[in-house]
């Protein structure tokens, strides 16, 4: 299966799985590399490193399924360099959004996970292939990619505003989508419709 993946997606997948293994053996990695709120131990490198830590095997698995599902085709379409730029802009935008939210509510809990980058990839996929059919697990109803992305964005906004499903960084997910949207708009202004 790894041989079918594009280079950046393969490297990101291996890095996430390897770092999750290291995190399992050295739980103290959270202390230095998770995204801590500004008033609770934040360091600049955490804007990227948090995206390689995960809160459990299910968290890792869902993120890696999203990485492969949306990222592999985007890398084929954009190329490796552009995919990596897009992914890390989404990860950093998600981190900045999460820092803004945690600062405004005085939260002192760290954030981990590649979800901000994955949500960016979801939005990128929906913008590049808006009419491609996507079948979510629940409900298993085929829908255009743009509808799928908008449902997820709306759900994250609702859950974030209402505080439902606490313990999940809903605004980081939205921040990843916003970062991805900004990159695509910037690329389109510079070079036309391919991105």
Q: Indicate the pLDDT class of residue 140, thresholds 50, 70 and 90.
A: confident
Q: Look up the domain containing 140 and give its range.
A: 2-191
The answer, yes or no, to whether residue 56 has pLDDT greater than 60, is: yes
> Please, what is the end-to-end C-alpha distance for the chain in angstroms?
28
Q: How many domains does the chain have?
A: 1
The model's pTM: 0.92
pLDDT, tens digit, for every residue of 95-139?
Answer: 999 999 988 887 778 999 999 999 999 999 999 999 999 988 777
The CATH number of the domain where 113 resides is what? 1.20.1540.10
What pLDDT shows up at residue 39? 85
| Residue of 14, 6, 131, 11 whose CA lies nearest to 78 | 6
Separation CA 139–CA 143 (nearest Å): 10
């Amino acid at each position: 299966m790894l041989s079918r993946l594009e280079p950046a997606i393969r490297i990101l997948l291996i890095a996430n799985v390897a770092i999750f293994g290291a995190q399992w053996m050295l739980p103290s990695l959270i202390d230095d590399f998770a995204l801590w709120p500004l008033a609770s131990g934040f360091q600049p490198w955490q804007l990227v490193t948090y995206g390689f830590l995960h809160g459990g095997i299910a968290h890792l698995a869902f993120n890696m399924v999203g990485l492969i599902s949306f990222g592999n085709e985007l890398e084929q379409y954009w190329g490796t360099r552009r995919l990596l730029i897009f992914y890390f802009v989404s990860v950093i935008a998600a981190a900045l959004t999460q820092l803004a939210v945690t600062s405004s509510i005085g939260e002192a809990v760290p954030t981990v996970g590649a979800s901000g980058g994955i949500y960016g990839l979801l939005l990128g996929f929906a913008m590049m292939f808006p009419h491609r059919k996507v079948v979510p697990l629940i409900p298993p109803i085929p829908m255009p990619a743009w509808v799928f992305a908008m449902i997820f964005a709306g759900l994250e906004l609702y859950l974030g505003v209402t505080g439902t499903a606490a313990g999940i960084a809903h605004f980081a997910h939205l921040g990843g989508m916003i970062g991805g949207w900004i990159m695509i708009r910037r690329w389109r202004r510079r070079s036309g419709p391919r991105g």
